[in-house]
Structure 1
Amino acid sequence: MKFYYHPSPNPLKVALMLEEAGLTYELVPVDTRKGEQHEAAYLAINPNAKTPSLVDGDAVVFDSNAILLYLAEKTGQFLPENTPAQRAQMLSWLMFVASGIGPYSGQAVHFKHYAPKPQDYAVNRYDFEAQRHWGILNDHLAKHRYMVGDTYSIVDMAVWGWARAVPFILGAEAWTDLPHVKRLLDEINARPAAQRAEALKAQHTFKTDMDAAAAQAMFPQNARLAS
């Protein structure tokens, strides 16, 4: 099993699942600021040119939430009770993270930290939606220990990947408004598997500078603005 990895929110949730499930895997670093996600060999695995990806024999999975579900079904671990009601909740919240938390958080970060100015409208739009989505999670966790009832599952892992970055997404004061998300984050952070997942980034040196080459690799659309 090969796990194509970068130390960012989406790959981290998969790393957590791999560690929690005790699976043996080969870590393959993909340095996105060097543009390695655009190389032909990687595009053959992941046509979307994003991380993470997982190759498990003949099975190739290239979306982080799909990978979580694939691994959970493969191992039979970290799934809620197999009833229609519980499975419906799991799929609903997993897709909520996939279609809401991740995209809106990512766009909020992009427009606040990386996009060329002016961007007031975009910052307002994505910051509002990111806060709204995190507020929905916080309200849900006020009533439930975990995202799906009382069972720690892949949905909590999906939330954890992004929750680690909440201060960068929403600002240092964000935890004041999201105490229940913070409670879940702290609980998962204390798990040995989460600590092993966090430690993976030390195995490789990833580019951290957002220089012109990194910006071109990560935001190729900006080249159209300069033309």
Structure 2
Amino acid sequence: MIQFNPIVSEIQEKMKNISFILMQHENKDFCLAKVHTNNWRQLSYRDNHKEYRFIIVSSPVFARLILQREYLKIVDRFPEYFGTENDWNIIRAIKEYDKNFLLREYSDREFFDYIRGETMAYVFKIENNETISNRILRLDLCRNINSSNVFQGGIFHVFKHFTPKGYNTISSNHKEFIVETFSEIYRHIILNFYSDEFVKEEGNCYEAKSLLRDGHVLRGIYYKEDEIPVSFINSMRID
């Protein structure tokens, strides 16, 4: 149960407003505007001798696949779908894993449109004065798959850069930066997005830089339109 009662209503109001704005902006027929506080997750991270507090408000499928780590069960059950350099195979693996929960047979495109829609998490940073940072991250599973069959945006894009210990890969690419645990991946994303080195580039993109434990620089590019009060992962790489 989330203990920061003074900011619960603030988060609920921000999420509702953002969801309705995005629904209109992206011409969607629906949006996820509210999640019960029992399903929120509170995180506390230490970085550079400072402690940072966050609240993740996620959709049920995002919570199940990412926060509850069912994604790794998919990798374990269908290893032949990973490391193929074709991200459509990852969509097929998730669809096969979830087939008993589906109401009918879905094409790969239909299932992809389903999981890229409102399958996401909002990340809110709690400031020292018990308010919410105006910088808000929407962490989608993915935003698109391009003509080269590669994920664009979202945490699925980031998976090609990080591999938990004990796995050859959790993406369609080969092993890259090794992390101790699966949850360390979204920890790196969150700390990168909320780093002090967050600079506007050309257009609607912002670049953030943060350090990994061995000194490598994690460079994230985030997309944010001026009238939309939330940012999206555009791309990420390790220098």
The structure where strand makes up a greater share of residues is 2
Structure with higher RCO (Cα < 8 A, 6+ apart): 1
TM-score by length of 1: 0.26
The structure where helix makes up a greater share of residues is 1
